Amino acid sequence: MSSCLWAVLLDYLKEGGMIQTFVKRTANSPLDSSESHWRKFCFFILIVVVCHHSLYYTVPTTLIQSLHQDIFGYGVFLLTILAFFVPRFLRGVLIIVCLNVGMKLFLIFPSWANHEFLEFLLLFGLAFSDHSQLEDRTNCLCFARWLAVIVFFSSGVQKLLYQSYFRGSFLGVTIARGGKLSDFFQYLLTKEEFERLLSLGGVEGTGPYAIDSSLFLVLSNFVYLSEIGLAILLLIPGKARLIGVWGSVFLILGIELGAREIVFGCLILFLVIQFSSEKINRISYPILLSILIGGVTLAKIFPSWELN
């Protein structure tokens, strides 16, 4: 059995008949587990952590938080540079950064964001794997794929269970509170409807936030239906997975056009593209890395753009 922690989980799942077949089918897709791709994958995740910290730096409330924020910010940046130029230190850097991210989550609990936990899970899988073993690299990249599926599926199911997307109520409250999403959605509503929502303010005890626009309701319900559907398509090898990959790419681009989430958008796109061919991975890597670094730079220079 592989020393990779995730291999233990996969081996456990494969003991059952139907589950064994299912896991094999979902893993049956081109996967570049070479050391060069592995290093690029690890480096991208480290850059995501650096960019995330630079954008979401919060005012510390204690001396411990202050010291940790400073050490974390500069330390991860320097360690990432070290890992890039000296690959043999990569695993050690991943372990240190993983432990630091874990400490950060502990210090800000329970106010962490979902994508911070996603970063921690990725770091944990990468850090505690034997990088020299092909099986370990393959299992961890499969785990990263599964995280993309879980993010899509859980997000869609959550929206479905909350029932706040059926009549557009959730998005109505978001619009009423103003901000970047309000600027984006105003083009899908009539002037009267948009002004009505803004006048409510999105505070407790106000309403109704249900929206009458047919186009808006179609869009609101399309979001959770597509998230669930695309998650399922990603699990089916062949043409279905190809549709799932490109459908996911366009869905993420559409969502992030309004949300302007540079870091999370690039991270989830990067995970989804792991389902595609080696050629697509090779082409998309420098593009996503450029968007990530360039977007974060613009966010620091032009804070009024509300990029995050």
* Rounded-to-integer distance, Cα 55 and Cα 58, Å: 9
Give the mean pLDDT of 53-70.
Answer: 59
Handedness of CA 72, 77, 78, 80 (dihedral sign): positive
Give percent above pLDDT 90 in the chain.
31
Using CB atoms within 10 A of its CB, is residue 95 exposed (0-12), middle (13-18) or buried (19+)?
A: middle
The reported pLDDT for the residue numbered 30 is: 65
Domain that holds residue 56: 32-168+211-305
Instruction: Record the tokens describing residue 143, joined without a space.
Output: 């785990």
Work out how many domains the chain is built from and give that number: 1
Q: Is residue 6 part of a domain?
A: no
Angle between helices 262-273 and 114-127 in degrees, nearest 10: 50
Q: Is residue 187 part of a domain?
A: no
CB atoms within 10 A of CB 24: 11
Q: Is residue 95 part of a domain?
A: yes
pLDDT digits (tens, 9 = 90+) for 164-192: 899 889 888 888 888 777 888 888 888 88
Q: Is residue 184 part of a domain?
A: no
The reported pLDDT for the residue numbered 2 is: 41
SS3 content of the chain, % helix, strand, coil (to 5): 75, 0, 25
Q: Is residue 199 part of a domain?
A: no
pLDDT digits (tens, 9 = 90+) for 202-256: 887 787 888 888 888 898 999 999 999 999 999 988 899 999 999 999 999 998 8
Q: How many helices (H) and strands (E) does the chain have?
A: 14, 0
Q: Is residue 62 part of a domain?
A: yes
pLDDT digits (tens, 9 = 90+) for 186-210: 888 888 888 888 888 888 778 788 8
Q: Is residue 14 part of a domain?
A: no
Q: Is residue 281 part of a domain?
A: yes
